[in-house]
Amino acid sequence: MIYLLASILLSVMLLLNFRLFPRYNVNTVQAISLNYIVCFLTGYVLLPSDVSFTLDFGQTWTWVALGIGVAFVITFLLSGESTQRNGITATSLANNLSLVIPVCVSLFVLGTSGRAFDGWNYFGLALAVVAVALSTYKRPVENVPDQASKRGLVALLPVAVFLMYGFTNTMINYMNVEYIAALGISPVVVTLTMVVGAIMAGMVLFLYRLVRGQDRFELCNLAGAVTLGVPNFLSFYTLVLALSAFGGNGALVYPLYNIGVILVAAGVAALFFREKLLPINKAGLALAVLAIALISWQELI
Q: Using one digit for the tens of pLDDT, what is the confidence trace for 162-178?
A: 899 889 888 877 887 77
Closest by CA to 42, choosing from 5, 10, 4, 82, is: 10
Contacts of 14 (CB under 8 A, 6+ apart): 79, 228, 231, 232, 235
Count up the domains in the chain and report the number: 1
Q: What is the pLDDT of residues 123-181, one digit of tens each?
A: 888 888 788 778 767 665 554 445 554 566 777 888 899 899 889 888 877 887 777 76
- For 259, other C-beta atoms within 10 Å of its C-beta total 20
Contact 62, 56 (CB under 8 A): yes
Confidence (pLDDT) at 111? 64
Summarize the confidence of residues 52-74 as an average pLDDT. Answer: 90
The pTM of this model reads 0.79
Q: What is the pLDDT of residues 278-288, one digit of tens each?
A: 888 888 888 88
Confidence (pLDDT) at 294? 87
Residue 122 CA from chain centroid, whole number: 23
Closest by CA to 288, choosing from 87, 97, 90, 156, is: 97
First to last CA, the chain: 17
Q: Which of 8-17, 38-47, 101-110, 220-229 has the lowest mean pLDDT?
A: 101-110
Give 175's Cβ-side CA count (13 Å radius): 26
Q: What stretches of 176-249 show up as alpha helix (H) in DSSP?
A: 181-183, 187-211, 219-245
Calpha distance 161→167 (Å, rounded): 10
Give 84's Cβ-side CA count (13 Å radius): 16
Confidence (pLDDT) at 11? 92
Task: Give the range of the structural domain holding residue 15, as residue numbers without chain letter.
Answer: 2-300
